[in-house]
Amino acid sequence: MKPIYLAPLACAAMLLSFTAAYSDDVGRADTQNASAGHRDFDKVDSHRHGYLTSKDVKAGDYVSKNFAKCNVKHDGHMSREEYTNCHE
């Protein structure tokens, strides 16, 4: 293969590898930030179901008072997303 063709191929390969490495780092950072932002959910979800029921939330808490409103799907199981949106 001619050397003139190798330079663009090498540049393309490096670009792809840098892009893959960057996207892995960004994905890890998003996961870490999401976990850090939802520590309250993890503390409240003591049974580790991945959802909360009206019994899981502490009486007198904002979420307890607004459980029906915050439980958008009205299925009795408040997801992490619903819990987060309830605090916003």
pLDDT at 37: 40
In this predicted structure, what is the pLDDT of residue 34? 44
Query: Using one digit for the tens of pLDDT, what is the confidence trace for 13-51?
Result: 777 777 766 655 444 444 444 444 446 888 888 889 999
**CATH 1.10.238 correct for 39-88:** yes
Q: What is the pLDDT of residue 36?
A: 42
Tell me the CA distances in angstroms from 66 to 3, 69, 82, one per residue in order: 68, 5, 11
pTM for this predicted structure:
0.52
> Can you give the pLDDT at residue 35?
42
CA separation for the pair 38, 82 (Å, rounded): 11
The pLDDT tens digits for 54-69 are 888 887 788 888 999 9
